Amino acid sequence: MLDCPAVVGLGEVMLRLSPTAGRRLENADVLAVHAAGAEANVLAGLARLGVSASLVSVLPDTPLGHRAAAELEAAGVDLDHVRWITGGRMGTFFVEQGAGPRATTVWYDRSGSAFPEHIDWPSGALAGAQMAVLSGITPALSPAAQRAAAAMAGEALASEVTLCIDVNYRERLWSADVARDTLASLLKQADIVVCAERDAMLLFGPDAADPAAFQAQWAPRASVCVITRGDDGCSAVSERSGPVSVDAIPTTVTDRLGIGDAFVAGLLRSLLAGHDLIEALRAGSALAALKATVAGDLSLARADELDALLATQTPRANVSR
Q: Which of 133, 132, 135, 8 is nearest to 80 (CA)?
A: 8
The angle formed by the CA atoms of residues 158, 161 and 166, to the nearest 5 degrees, is 110
Count the Cβ atoms, other than its own, within 10 Å of residue 161.
Answer: 20
CA 255 to chain centre: 16
Distance separating the N- and C-terminal Cα atoms of the chain = 45
CB atoms within 10 A of CB 26: 7
Task: List strands edge to edge, sheet with 105-109.
Answer: 31-36, 14-19, 92-96, 105-109
Give the containing element (helix H, strand E) for 32: strand 31-36
Q: Where are the alpha helices (DSSP H) in 211-276?
A: 211-218, 259-272
Check if the beta carbon of residue 31 is closer than 8 Å to that of residue 19. yes
Query: Given 261, 276, 297, 307, which residue is catalytic?
Result: 261
Give the up-direction half-sphere exposure of residue 133: CA atoms within 13 A in the CB hemisphere.
Answer: 32
Q: Is 21 exposed, middle or buried (0-12, 13-18, 19+ CB in 10 A)?
A: exposed
Rounded Cα–Cα distance for residues 301 and 15 (Å): 21
- 3-state secondary structure (DSSP) of residue 220: coil
Residue 261 falls in the annotated catalytic set: yes
Q: Which residues are catalytic?
A: 261
